[in-house]
Amino acid sequence: MVVERPAINHDTIRLFCSASQPAIKLCLVAALLFSVMSMVILSYYTSSSYWHGFVREPPQPSFQCHSIKEGFTKTKVGINNIHTSSEKLRFDPKVLVFLETQYSRLGKHICEILEASRTKYKVEISGKSLPPLTNHDKGKYAVIVFENYEKYLAMNKWNRHLLDKYCKEYNAGIIGFLHSKEETFIGAQLSGFPLFISTNHQLQDYYLNPSSSVLRLTRAGEVYYGALPSGDWTVFKTNDSSYEPVTWSRPQQFAPVNSDDLIPFLTTVIQDHGRFDGIQRVLFGNGFEFWLHKLLFLDSVSWLSHGKLSLPLYRYLQVDIDDIFVGEKGTRMKPVDVQALLHTQEQINNLVPGFRFNLGFSGKFYHRGTEEENEGDDILLAHHSKFWWFCHMWSHTKPHLYDNISVLEMEMTMNLQFAQTHGIKTDSGYSVAPHHSGIYPVHEILYQAWKHIWNIRVTATEEYPHLRPARYRRGFIHRNIMVLPRQTCGLYTHNLFMDRYPGGADRLDKSIEGGDLFHQFVYNPINVFMTHLSNYGNDRLALYTFESVIKFIQCWTNLHLSTLPPIQLAEKYFQMFPEESNPVWVNPCLDKRHLAIWSSKKACNQLPKFLVIGPQKTGTTALYTFLSMHPVIVSNHPSGETFEEVQFFNGNNYFKGLDWYMNFFPIPTNSSSSYMFEKSATYFDGELVPVRAHALLPHAKIVTILISPIKRAYSWYQHMKAHEDHAAVKYAFYEVVTASDNAPKILRDLKSRCLNPGLYAQHLERWLAFYPPSQLMIIDGEELKGDPAIVLNRLQQFLKIPSFIDFTNKLRYVPQKGFYCQVTQQNSTKCLGHTKGRHYPPVDPLAQKFLKAFYLSSNIALSKLLTRLRLPIPQWLEDDLS
């Protein structure tokens, strides 16, 4: 075949050849510039949200449940899966975990699951002697977990006997994990049991036994298709009626002997009903590499604890869309995105009764997008009644940057006026500050302005007590505003498109399908999620994420999802967790995220570096006075109610907040080298004081003074008598310390304040649970009284005071007072007031004898504690023990 060439246009050739050389160069440059501009424009549109929206539709949830595919209906939790028992159980709802080492990976995961589900537990290292299992005829543990079940099988005979006896007597159960082995076993018998194992299997597909009584959270009968992670599964086989499979799987490779051989089902998790030896167990053939085992572990804990450690099956969901009008042009919601939002809300509402998106707004940014995006804003407001709304700041600024409450209230008022103008309801009682600013660490004027302008009753933050680990997030109540823990769903302001999601679409799907997002629903009965405007435009990742995870939850669990308005949701939370109502103030200077949202008017070195904790009537006021003589040691400002004591960490002062506490201390200057301290003698025996003090001042030094507890009790009685306390005036000391439980309340209260602080070992152990011995100094009160200069010099060394001074010439003994006093510049003495150093009549011999017996066990414990701490035994303790 002959191909004809097109005729050459000779006129064109003549025109080109006749063109001048500069003209040709100009044409070439123009062509080059045109090509570059075309490439830039093409690059912009192919990378922009415009192009993404133009060339494809946002991703749609594609997950489908196996049972839905097969046409099965969802079954309710059966009567055998309630896990409650009619028997009178004699154990605490607590788990004892035996780890191989404190660094083992599986052991760490076990502890994390228990922490996330708020389950109390204690850790022991396998191979050591058993911890005490009972307390006054009551079991201390409901479930025993062995990270490596072979450690249980190989226990020495005596410990194994004790543990098995405990489990039988108190109806406690055992969970065990079978570890992989280098060598492969086929049909090996577990020592002492009619149970056989085979190891190192590669498996696929996972079947949940429809009739298993263990499954409660986990939806029975569901099937996972696909290869299972890791190739070192252990499977179980038995003919004994005590055992029942919880799950099955199939081998990835199977070579049939005959043509009609079927692929066998292999048991991967097995339930022991206890018919063989009287102990119920659940054994796992693998750890938590497979996500479903976390659910099965929680179900096993529930079943073996007879429901005492069951998680509730109801979950409440709130999805906040922060900054609904705040976003760069090209990233905001268009009309089609708003319609998708409404459609998805309706879809989710069919799955989650009462569901509505909760929209946060900063009115200043309304109509700040493209023309099409502004139209999206208008459609949102046209459908305002279909959503819940909450106020942000008018200009989306961080509240902690404001120190003037009037300016802060003006910001809120402008947003309030915007809401009223556009018909947005303003009575939700809920708000969240931009970037969590001012919620925690608390910025007091934010709470005040919220109450005044918006009547806020509920807020939420991810920062209490810290952002990470997320399983530790909790709620609290401050200034009558309920603060809920907020969760993150893996979507942030920069997550616009699926193909740019960090780690790709697979990572997001992994979080949804058995990953972090899924387990947040499992562990937390109430979930408040934070999302952003940009997650609802562009590829609408938030719509994809929540619809997908809700469908996944309803496929694999028996959880019931619903939504409540914010105030009802917060009330429900604190009904579930009333112990969280009281906040714990942590040090903002030790968390860079907290420091970033803490007022610049605050100073990290404004907090005390050591605490003098008491107890009362041991010489704390004298020590406080002597320390105040030091040029660089600075005490707190006095209180109008409690004089030199702040008494922050105990009592209601704690709920006044960190700002209230810090106002008692001077603001250091740049040139200041002040070493600040606080003395509150009631701290010593306060039950909550150590945990609160450590949360705020983890590096502080702790100073306590001890004298004979008998002498201290008598001194307190005389102190109260001098202050004309009714009970102290009416009753003799012996009557007070021997008062019965049926005595009048005023007498019992006085007895408690006389006797309880003197249980020194008990209170010191509480402090040592939070502070190491290197941060604790125990002062002998008799030595402080007899030679305070030596004690003060030693204390300076302990505190590592930069400017050491010798107190020898600064104190002088005054015989008339019976104690040392401050030497003034005029070489005279300045002593404590007339209420100090009183001379009392001798203690009643009957009371002395009673108290010696009363404090005997406590004093023995104190002697052992001091020996353990390598501290000398004071003479008064030897006398009390003689």
3-state helix/strand/coil string of 182-211 = CCCCCCEECCCCCCEEEEEECEEEEEECCC
Please report whether residue 764 resides in a domain: yes
**Domain annotation covers residue 654:** yes
- Helices 371-382 and 335-351 pack at an angle, to 10 degrees, of 40
- Provide the CATH number for the domain around residue 539: 3.20.20.370
CATH number at residue 771: 3.40.50.300
Using the predicted structure, report yes or no on whether residue 3 has a pLDDT greater than 70: no
Helices then strands, counting H and E runs in the chain, come out as 30, 28
Q: Distance (Å, rounded) from C-alpha 743 to C-alpha 736?
A: 10
User: Regarding predicted confidence, which is higher, 84 or 692?
Assistant: 692
Does 828 map to a domain? yes
Has residue 54 got a pLDDT over 60?
Answer: no
631 with 770, same domain: the answer is yes
In this structure, the answer to whether residues 705 and 759 fall within a common structural domain is: yes
Residue 294, in any domain of the structure: yes
Per-residue pLDDT at 813:
87
627, 512: one domain: no
The pLDDT score that the predictor gives to residue 58 is 87
Reported as a single tens digit per residue, the pLDDT across 521-548 is: 999 999 999 999 999 998 999 999 999 9
DSSP code per residue over 298-349 = HHHHHHHTTTTTPPPSEEEEEEEEE-TT---TTSS--HHHHHHHHHHHHHHH
**Nearest residue to 508 via CA among 62, 56, 46, 106:** 62
Q: Spell 423-434 as b/e; 16+ CB within 10 A means b.
A: ebeeebbbbbbb
Q: Kindly report which listed range (50-59, 243-252, 363-372, 712-721) carries the lowest average pLDDT score.
A: 50-59
**pLDDT at residue number 373:** 96
Write the DSSP string, 1-24. -PPPPPPP-HHHHHHHHHS-HHHH
Q: What is the mean pLDDT of residues 750-756?
A: 97
What lies within 8 Å, CB to CB, of 639 at 6+ separation is 645, 646, 647, 664
Q: What pLDDT, on a 0 to 100 scale, did the predictor assign at position 159?
A: 96
For residue 439, being part of any structural domain is answered with: yes
Mean predicted confidence (pLDDT) in 852-862: 97
The candidate with the shortest Cα–Cα distance to 785, out of 721, 715, 858, 724, is 715
Q: Which of 617, 701, 721, 785 is catalytic?
A: 617
298 and 338 housed in the same domain: no
Query: What DSSP state is assigned to residue 399?
Result: G
Do 233 and 371 fall into the same domain?
no
Residues 196 and 222 reside in one and the same domain: yes
Which pLDDT belongs to residue 809? 86
CATH of the domain at 124: 3.40.50
* CA atoms of 332 and 538, how far apart (whole Å): 8
Q: What amino acid occupies position 338?
A: V
Per the structure block, which two tokens stand in for 347?
A: 């879809």
pLDDT digits (tens, 9 = 90+) for 257-284: 565 556 789 999 999 999 999 999 999 9
Residues forming beta bridges with residue 391, ordered by sequence position: 361, 431
pLDDT at residue 127, rounded to an integer: 86
Tell me the residue range of the domain where 368 lies.
317-580
Question: What are the structure tokens assigned to 350, written together?
Answer: 């069919």
Judge whether 69 lies within some domain: no
| pLDDT value, residue 465 | 96
The total number of structural domains that make up the chain:
3
Number of other CB atoms surrounding residue 595 within 10 Å: 14
**Judgement on whether residues 289 and 377 belong to the same structural domain of the protein:** no
Question: What is the amino acid identity at position 728?
Answer: A
Question: Is 211 found in the same domain as 99?
Answer: yes
**Over residues 320-332, mean pLDDT:** 92
- Is position 598 within any domain? no
Q: Give the Å distances, CA to CA, from 810 to 202, 627, 678, 790, 821.
A: 79, 11, 22, 12, 9
Asked if 827 and 711 sit in the same domain, the reply is: yes
64 pLDDT tier (thresholds 50, 70, 90): confident
Domain match, 752 and 870 both: yes
Q: How far apart are the C-alpha atoms of 152 and 634, rounded to whole Å?
A: 57
Residue at 28 is within a domain = no
Q: Which band of pLDDT confidence, cut at 50, 70 and 90, is reported for residue 164?
A: very high
Residue 67 in this model has a pLDDT that exceeds 90: no
In a shared domain, residues 860 and 762? yes
**Statement to judge: residues 641 and 726 lie in one domain:** yes
Annotated catalytic residue 617: yes
